[in-house]
């Protein structure tokens, strides 16, 4: 292909990406920036025989279009469609499931070693972003670098999701901005070749260039780890990419090719706003999300409390801390893709007298369990961990669903774990957490549901627009009944209300659980002793979740009641167009819950009357009408 053909292909790919993400949502700016690189990779290497691994895979769209999914690309992030991340179950060209930053180098090293151990012959290419170098896992992989043939491509665009921060970002910037060195490169490319004996002169000066580079540029950082350094080069020049990739392909050692790209390249809006267009939502999603409410409330609290500081791991925009960063720049810390460091750094801040609020997505908090256990809870430090995106993240799928945090957090002593039913309750919980003086975790989803305005009132229900004071370990009673108790967590309170509306023949108690830890034991005891059936409802996996905690309590206290859990099953939940589609797939809709409740109620009465006929029943049925 000629250069113009490459440009045409790149433009076509960008148009497909733009059109699809505008309708389906997805990662836009990061993918636009690597179109030329993706073309060059698939021109030089033989995928899937050669293994191309994308770190995070926020930049895999062009790769998908160039392999076997161009015709399916309109289904991106949709139900039964293709994933927004590399997924081996989807295509042999996706050799590793990537959704979290920093994994590419470790997995690529493993594949390179396995290749050599098995005496096979193929190339392994890891495409990492400059933000990945702030991640501890990447640095651990660098420290373990051997002599196995491996190509690392450093896609340097100055961004993770937000602008890159820290010493490594400054370091890489220095590598590409040294004026004298870049002038030598320009002279070699444009002028030396035209002089008499130009080819000999270019070879001579090329050797001199490498010497000068080693003196002027800190490329030795990578070479000390055993990686031959090549670059930096223009990541939007296909011919230059092809030339350098062919060179890398011929080397028999680990090396790093440093390319400079522009996030959002080819689209003026994305280029000017790379943070806002990193990930875009479908046009149908319009709401004042919990992240915005969190960011505004923390700013309000910080006005009157100078001890409050905020920490995030490369997610200033996503977690809603952009406003706090603008208003309190010296009290806001973005530590890069380093969740473990973010929490232990917070522990240090707390130990020295500040009140840290650390905002991290649920799925990324999984990477920092030991930091919570060893550095925060063990010392019972007053810290607020704001767990964003807790619950289902339908479009992103299994790498991003926040369905596991309760299970791994509630096993840790000293932690307080709570979840609000609506944004107003999130504000109240933040206020309470500031005053609790404990290690507090507050989990909340991205989007605000519609749990208020329940359609029509029913006896015993208080206003859903009122948020009572948050008391440690105390739930909230929404409605008092006599037969069936629904204990819901977070936005699932709205589901409980809807169930009660659609089953008016039953007498329901509806409880807003609020606290996963400590549980409201007084409430649970009362509900068990005064109801026939009890159900918990949560946006979390069943194993180890809120419902499991409730059942454990009932068992420990020897409280006899038919209790059931409505939650996600013990499996990885795929991506889909929306949460409703996934609820249908896994029988987790309101209709499914109603059917289960009706069946359980009928079975309960059948069992009670059967025991009564035999004279063995110890349970006297209360007044009711079987539906």
Are both 317 and 366 inside the same structural domain?
Answer: yes
Give phi and psi for 402, each to the nearest 5: -95, 65
Instruction: Tokens 């400054």: give the residue.
Output: 170
Among 241, 256, 279, which residue terminates a domain?
Answer: 279
**The pairing of beta strand 476-479 with beta strand 484-488:** unpaired
C-alpha 108/C-alpha 150 separation (Å) is: 8
More confident residue, 400 or 3: 400
**Per-position b or e across 482-502, b if 16+ CB within 10 A of its CB:** ebbbbbbbbbbbbbbbbbbbe
Q: Is residue 627 part of a domain?
A: no
Q: Is residue 619 part of a domain?
A: no
* Chain segment 478-494, per-residue pLDDT in tens: 999 999 999 999 999 99
Q: Is residue 489 part of a domain?
A: yes
Angle, helices 546-556/521-530, rounded to nearest 10 degrees: 70
| Cβ within 8 Å of residue 168, ≥6 positions away | 130, 133, 134, 336
Q: Is residue 450 part of a domain?
A: no
H or E stretch covering 383: strand 383-388
According to DSSP, the residues that pair with 566 across neighbouring strands are: 537
C-alpha 83/C-alpha 73 separation (Å) is: 9
**The pairing of beta strand 508-512 with beta strand 476-479:** antiparallel
Question: Catalytic residue among 115, 263, 297, 542, which?
Answer: 263
Are both 422 and 523 inside the same structural domain?
Answer: no
Among 426, 443, 460, which residue terminates a domain?
Answer: 443
pLDDT of residue 169: 54
Are both 196 and 156 inside the same structural domain?
Answer: no
C-alpha 591/C-alpha 606 separation (Å) is: 23
Coil, helix or strand at residue 298 = helix
* Chain segment 114-133, per-residue pLDDT in tens: 999 999 999 999 999 877 88
Question: Catalytic residue among 77, 213, 297, 367, which?
Answer: 367
Weakest mean pLDDT among 4-8, 65-69, 454-458: 454-458
Q: Is the pTM of this model over 0.85?
A: yes
490, 461 in Cβ contact below 8 A?
Answer: no
Q: Is residue 469 part of a domain?
A: no
105, 132 in Cβ contact below 8 A?
Answer: yes
Structure tokens at 582: 């996934």
* Chain segment 50-97, per-residue pLDDT in tens: 999 999 888 899 999 999 899 999 999 999 999 999 999 999 999 998
C-alpha 192/C-alpha 520 separation (Å) is: 79
| Cβ within 8 Å of residue 96, ≥6 positions away | 53, 86, 88, 103, 104, 107
Please state the length of the chain: 627
Q: What is the domain-level CATH number for residue 581?
A: 3.40.50.920
Q: Is residue 304 part of a domain?
A: yes
Domain of 292? 286-443
Closest CA to 125 of 246, 41, 236, 65: 41
Are both 160 and 209 inside the same structural domain?
Answer: no
Are both 361 and 481 inside the same structural domain?
Answer: no
For residue 110, CA distances in Å to 53, 68, 76, 258 come to: 12, 26, 29, 22
C-alpha 476/C-alpha 422 separation (Å) is: 13
Closest CA to 574 of 585, 560, 564, 558: 585
Are both 224 and 301 inside the same structural domain?
Answer: no
* Residue 339 designated active-site: yes
C-alpha 68/C-alpha 71 separation (Å) is: 8
* Chain segment 214-241, per-residue pLDDT in tens: 544 556 678 888 899 998 899 999 999 9
Q: Is residue 353 part of a domain?
A: yes
pLDDT of residue 603: 87
* Chain segment 352-378, per-residue pLDDT in tens: 999 999 999 999 999 999 999 999 999
C-alpha 361/C-alpha 400 separation (Å) is: 9
Count the neighbouring beta carbons within 10 Å of the beta carbon of residue 75. 16
Structure tokens at 350: 């707390």
Give pairs for 268-273: CB < 8 Å, separation 24+: 270/28, 270/29, 270/32, 271/29, 273/29
Q: Omega before 518 cis (within 30°)? A: yes
Are both 437 and 527 inside the same structural domain?
Answer: no
568, 588 in Cβ contact below 8 A?
Answer: yes
Cα angle value 311/315/321 (rounded, 5°): 60
Question: Catalytic residue among 339, 425, 447, 538, which?
Answer: 339
pLDDT of residue 459: 47
| Cβ within 8 Å of residue 511, ≥6 positions away | 475, 476, 477, 478, 485, 486, 487, 488, 523, 527
Are both 387 and 422 inside the same structural domain?
Answer: yes
Are both 259 and 322 inside the same structural domain?
Answer: no
- Average pLDDT score over residue span 552-560: 97
Structure tokens at 585: 């797939």
Q: Is residue 93 part of a domain?
A: yes
**The pairing of beta strand 515-517 with beta strand 415-418:** antiparallel
Structure tokens at 74: 């309109």
Find how far residue 358's CA is from the centre of its chain. Answer: 15
First to last CA, the chain: 72
With a cut of 60, say whether residue 211 has pLDDT above it.
Answer: no
Domain count for the chain: 4
Are both 147 and 247 inside the same structural domain?
Answer: yes
Structure tokens at 543: 């194993």
407, 399 in Cβ contact below 8 A?
Answer: no
Percentages helix, strand, coil for the chain (3-state, rounded to 5) are 45, 15, 40
Among 162, 196, 216, which residue terminates a domain?
Answer: 216
Categorize the per-residue pLDDT at 457 as very low, low, confident or very high, splitting at 50, 70 and 90: very low
According to DSSP, the residues that pair with 390 across neighbouring strands are: none
With a cut of 70, say whether residue 412 has pLDDT above it.
Answer: yes
Categorize the per-residue pLDDT at 191 as very low, low, confident or very high, splitting at 50, 70 and 90: low
Structure tokens at 158: 């100055």
pLDDT of residue 171: 55
Are both 152 and 38 inside the same structural domain?
Answer: yes
With a cut of 50, say whether residue 186 has pLDDT above it.
Answer: yes
Are both 341 and 386 inside the same structural domain?
Answer: yes
Q: What is the domain-level CATH number for residue 427?
A: 3.40.50.970
């Amino acid at each position: 292909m000629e250069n113009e053909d490459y440009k045409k292909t790149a433009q076509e790919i960008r148009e497909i990406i733009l059109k699809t993400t505008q309708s389906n949502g997805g990662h836009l700016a990061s993918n636009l920036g690597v179109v030329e690189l993706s073309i060059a990779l698939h021109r030089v290497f033989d995928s899937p025989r050669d293994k191309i691994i994308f770190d995070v895979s926020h930049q895999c769209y062009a790769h998908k279009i160039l392999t076997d999914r161009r015709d399916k690309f309109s289904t991106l992030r949709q139900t039964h469609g293709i994933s927004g991340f590399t997924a081996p179950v989807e295509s042999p060209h996706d050799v590793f499931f990537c959704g979290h930053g920093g994994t590419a180098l470790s997995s690529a090293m493993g594949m390179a070693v396995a290749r050599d151990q098995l005496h096979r012959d193929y190339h392994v290419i890891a495409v990492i972003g400059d933000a990945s170098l702030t991640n501890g896992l990447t640095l651990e992989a660098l420290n373990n670098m051997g002599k196995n043939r491996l190509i690392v491509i450093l896609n340097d665009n100055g961004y993770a999701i937000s602008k890159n921060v820290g010493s490594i970002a400054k370091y890489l910037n220095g590598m590409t901005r040294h004026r004298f060195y870049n002038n030598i490169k320009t002279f070699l490319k444009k002028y030396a070749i035209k002089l008499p004996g130009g080819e000999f002169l270019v070879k001579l000066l090329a050797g001199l260039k490498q010497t000068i580079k080693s003196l002027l540029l800190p490329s030795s950082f990578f070479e000390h780890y055993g990686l031959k350094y090549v670059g930096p080069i223009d990541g939007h020049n296909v011919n230059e990419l092809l030339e350098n990739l062919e060179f890398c392909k011929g080397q028999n050692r680990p090396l790093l090719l440093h390319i400079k790209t522009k996030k959002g390249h080819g689209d003026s809006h994305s280029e000017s706003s790379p943070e806002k267009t990193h990930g875009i939502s479908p046009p149908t999603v319009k709401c004042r999300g919990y992240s915005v409410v969190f960011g505004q409330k923390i700013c309000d609290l910080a006005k009157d409390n100078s001890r409050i500081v905020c920490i995030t791991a490369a997610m200033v925009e996503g977690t809603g801390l952009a406003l706090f960063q603008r208003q309190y720049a010296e009290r806001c810390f973005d530590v890069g893709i380093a969740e473990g460091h973010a929490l232990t750094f917070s522990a240090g801040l707390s130990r020295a007298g500040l009140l840290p609020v650390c905002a991290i997505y649920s799925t990324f908090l999984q990477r920092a369990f030991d930091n919570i256990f060893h550095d925060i809870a063990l010392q019972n430090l007053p810290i607020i961990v704001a767990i964003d995106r807790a619950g289902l993240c339908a479009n992103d799928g299994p790498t991003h669903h926040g369905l596991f945090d309760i299970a791994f957090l509630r096993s840790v002593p000293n932690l307080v774990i709570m979840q609000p039913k609506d944004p107003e309750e999130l504000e109240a919980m933040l206020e309470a957490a500031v005053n609790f003086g404990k290690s507090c975790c507050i989990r909340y989803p991205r989007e605000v549901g519609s749990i208020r305005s329940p359609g029509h009132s029913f006896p015993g229900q208080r206003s859903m627009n009122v948020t009572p004071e948050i008391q440690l370990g105390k739930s909230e009673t929404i409605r008092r009944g006599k037969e069936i108790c629904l204990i819901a967590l977070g936005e699932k309170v709205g589901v409980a209300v809807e169930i009660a509306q659609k089953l008016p023949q039953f007498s329901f108690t509806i409880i807003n659980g609020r606290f996963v830890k400590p549980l409201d034991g007084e409430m649970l005891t009362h509900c068990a002793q005064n109801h026939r059936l009890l159900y918990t409802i949560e946006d979390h996996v069943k194993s180890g979740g809120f419902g499991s905690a409730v059942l454990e309590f009932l068992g420990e206290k020897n409280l006899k009641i038919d209790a059931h859990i409505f939650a996600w099953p013990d499996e990885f939940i795929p991506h889909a167009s929306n949460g409703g589609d996934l609820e249908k797939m896994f029988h987790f809709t309101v209709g499914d819950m109603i059917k289960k409740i009706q069946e359980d109620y009928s079975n309960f009465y059948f069992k009670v009357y059967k025991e009564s006929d035999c004279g063995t029943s110890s349970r006297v049925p209360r007044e009711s009408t079987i539906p």
